Amino acid sequence: MTRVYLASPLGFSPENRDYLTRIKDRLVSLGIEVFDPWAQPQFSAELEKAFQEKDHQARVAAFAGLARRIGVCNEAGIREADYLLAVVDGAEVDSGTAAEVGFACGLGKRCYGLRTDLRDSGDFVGIPVNLQLLHFIETSGGQLFRSIAEIILPGCLAEAPHA
């Protein structure tokens, strides 16, 4: 089964969960196994505890330890994925998402982008995202999709329903 790492900043706001779910549903409908960094349950209890910590130093230490473990988990997710799909909407591409694209591309993974945002946020007129990010997506053999329904990856089911 094809495995995709889904890079996005969508977990930072509960308001984005429906959008994230629609993207994941599209990928699953294509027969793809999705690694979603936001859906890693092993960190939930620790995150909740860290957010509730009243002592500043203890809170900083708790988040530092969590950040390291989450980074290791996400690195493994990228290494184990066949492809990476990055959600690159917004005025600026999320720095973590851009880092994940760069890392995956450096590993030789084919990277794809999803930009449904109608605004250009690239360096020049007509360039939808940062030119370096677009370069890495395209030179990895991937492409930038402009809608969820356009997403199709090598090894996917050819006749997947549109989202």
Question: Among 144, 73, 85, 87, which Cα is nearest to 109's?
Answer: 85
Is residue 16 scored above 80 in pLDDT? yes
| In the chain, domain spans | 3-38+82-150
3-38+82-150 placed in CATH 2.40.10.220: no
Q: How confident is the model at residue 162 (pLDDT cuts 50, 70, 90)?
A: low
What pLDDT, in 10s, does the model give residues 100-115?
A: 999 999 999 999 999 9
Q: What is the pLDDT of residue 155?
A: 85
pTM: 0.92
What pLDDT, in 10s, does the model give residues 74-109?
A: 999 999 999 999 999 998 999 999 999 999 999 999
What is the rounded CA–CA span in Å between residue 75 and residue 78? 5
What pLDDT, in 10s, does the model give residues 134-155?
A: 999 999 999 999 999 999 999 8
